[in-house]
Amino acid sequence: MSELLTGAQILRRTLVDAGVDVMFGYPGGAIMPFYDALHGQKPRHILVRHEQAAAHAADGYARASNRVGVCVATSGPGATNLVTGLAAAYMDGSPVLAITGQVGRPMLGRDAFQETDVVGVTLPVTKYNVLVRDVEDLADDVREAMAIAMEGRPGPVLVDVPKDVQNQKAEYQVSGVWDLGSGKPRHQAPDTRHLEEAIQQTAQLIAQAERPLLMIGRGVIVSGAYAEVRELAERTGTPVITTLLGISAFPQAHDLHLGMPGMHGEVHINKAIQAADLIVGIGMRFDDRVTGNTATFAPRAKIVHIDVNPAAIGLNIPVAIGIVGDARRVVERLLQFVTPRNCLPWREEIRGLQHARNELFTGGLSPEVILSALADVTGGRCTVVSDVGQHQMWVAQRYPFQRPNTHITSGGLGAMGFAVPAAMGVRMARPDEPVWAISGDGGFQMNMAEIATMVQEGLEVKLAVFNNGYLGMVRQWQQFFHGGRYSNTPILSPDYVKLAEAYGIPGWRVKQASEVTDALRQANAAPGPALVELVIEQEANVFPMIVPGGSLSEPLEAAPV
C-alpha cells in the first residue's frame, strides 16, 4: 500500500515505521516543513536549548537503549552546532542519526542564507552521510543511514534534506527490511576457518598463561556480552580490567574485578598490566589513555585483540592474535574451548601490589563521601552520566557500579558539557529509574540552559555539580607541568541554588560531609529535575596519575615537587 505524501511527511513516517519514538532538536528555516509535519504527530520531539545538546541527548539515548538516537537541526549554524555531539558519538561508537535541513536545491553552491556544506563538514565524524537529491530517495536514504549507524561498530550518520525536497511529493512505501539493496558494500562475512583457528589459539594461550588479564571496553556493552565475559573470567580465573567506557560491563563487587587502567588507573592495576604475560582485549581500542607510552606497555604480554572493527586491530599495540567479530559471539565460541582454572597465585600477586592511598581533602567535601552517599541513596539503582574532568575520573575510580551499562560518559572526545544533555536522553530511554548527571562547575555551565528543557519537557534528571572554582583537570596539569601558573582556569559560577529557583526546581548547596546524604536523598526523591551543588576542595587532585607519554610503571601518587 502506498500514499502520496510530501517529503517532510515521508521523513516523519519513515522514522515512525523504523521504531523511532523520540527525537531531540531545534527548528529553523530550512527544516520547517519537517516540523510542520511533526505538529501533533509522533515521534515525540524534545525542544533543546542548543543543537549541541540535541546531539548529546540523542547520544545518551542511544547508549542507554542500544537503539538509534535521533537529533534534528536546521541548515547552517543549526547543523554545525551538531558537530561536537556527532564527534563524541563517533569516537565512542554510539548510533546517532542527525537530520538536517538544507537550502533548496536551486540555491546550493550559491552562498545562500544559512547554506553550509554539512555533508563535507561532518564527513570525518560520521560513518555515513548523504545529501538527499530527490524525494524519491528520501525514505531509502534514511533507512540506509539507520542501518549503517547500527551495523558493525555503531556510530553517527547524517541525512541532509533540502527544503524543496521536504516539499516535494512522492508515493511512500512502507518497508519492513533494513537492507535496501542499494548496492552499498556491507561488512563481508568473516573467514570462519580463520576465526575458528584464532579462537582455538586464544584458548591455548589462556590455558598456558600464568599471568593473564581480560581488558574489556564498550564493545562488551554494545554487544550485551555481560554473561559471556563473566563466564569466561570465572571459568579461567582471569582478573578483569574495565576501560573508562567499559565501566559497568562487569560487576565491580566481583572478586575478579580490578578496576580502570591507564592514566588515572590504580597503581596495582597498571602494575598488573606491566607484569602480565597475556592480555585479552575485548571490545576496546588500546587508546593512549589506557596504554601510556605504547613502547613500554605490557612488555611481557602477548596481546589478543577482539573487536568488531577490523581497523582497530593492531592500530595502537602489536597483537599476537587479532579476531574481528562481535564480542558476545566471539566469547561464546571461545567458551567452547577454554578449560577451567583459577589463577590463584596470580590473583594473590595482584592483591599484594595493592596499597592504601592517603588522600587528604581538607578544604571541602571529598569525592569518596559524595559518591558513596549517592550509591547509598539510590541503592545503586541509577544511571550515572558524568561530564569530563576530575569528577569524571573520581566517578570512574570510586562509584560502585554493579549493573550493566549504568555508567555513561564522553570518553574518546572528552567533550565538556556532555553530561547534562546526555542525561536527558538517558532519562527518555530509562524513565523508570533515577538518572544523575555529574558535572564540574566548568562543564555544567556549558549546557546548563538545558534545565529549561527538562522543566518544559518534564524530564526528571538529577544534577550534581562538583564546584571547586576551577577548571579542575586543566588546573591540575598547570600545577604539575606548568609551574603552578593557573592561566585562565579559575572560573566563576552563578549561585546554583538561585539558578535552580529561577528554573522552578529545588536546589541545595552542600559544604559539609554531614549534609551530603540528606541533600542527595531529597533531590533523588523530588519530583522532576533537582540540583545539588557540592563545594569540594579547590585544589584537590586526581591520583594516581601517569605523566602524559609516560610509562604505566611510573605513577604519580602525589603532586611533583
Q: Which of 3, 41, 113, 554 is catalytic?
A: 113
Angle between helices 327-334 and 192-208 (to 10 degrees): 60
Q: DSSP class of residue 81?
A: T
Q: In the structure grid, which three cell numbers stand for residue 98, read together? A: 542527525
Q: Peptide bond before 544: cis, by omega within 30 degrees of 0? A: yes
Active site residue 184: no
Q: In the structure grid, which three cell numbers stand for residue 165, read together? A: 525536497
Active site residue 163: yes
Distance between first and last Cα of the chain: 75
Kindly provide the b/e burial profile for residues 223-234, where b requires at least 16 CB atoms within 10 angstroms of the residue's own CB: bebbebbbbbbe
Structural contact between residues 420 and 266, judged by C-beta atoms closer than 8 angstroms: no
Nearest by Cα to 386 from 560, 374, 453: 374
- Measured CA distances, 553 to 139, 294, 297, 356, 388 (Å): 54, 12, 9, 18, 25
Structural contact between residues 534 and 464, judged by C-beta atoms closer than 8 angstroms: yes
Active site residue 448: no
- Rounded CA gap, 363 and 361, in Å? 6
Q: In the structure grid, which three cell numbers stand for residue 35, read together? A: 516540523
Q: Which of 9, 34, 51, 543 is catalytic?
A: 51
Q: Which of 163, 271, 302, 462 is catalytic?
A: 163
Q: What are phi and psi of 416, to 5 degrees?
A: -60, 145
Residues 6 or more apart whose Cβ sits within 8 Å of residue 366? 359, 513, 536, 537, 540
Q: Which of 457, 473, 479, 543 is catalytic?
A: 473
Q: What are phi and psi of 392, to 5 degrees?
A: -60, -45
Q: Which of 32, 42, 107, 114 is catalytic?
A: 114
Kindly provide the b/e burial profile for residues 323-335, where b requires at least 16 CB atoms within 10 angstroms of the residue's own CB: bbbbbbbbbbbbb
Give the position of cell 528555516.
29
Active site residue 114: yes
Nearest by Cα to 500 from 434, 440, 444, 442: 444
Nearest by Cα to 219 from 337, 329, 71: 329
Active site residue 284: no
Angle between helices 7-17 and 135-150 (to 10 degrees): 30
Nearest by Cα to 129 from 100, 164, 88: 100
- Rounded CA gap, 326 and 346, in Å? 29
Which are the catalytic amino acids?
51, 113-114, 163, 473
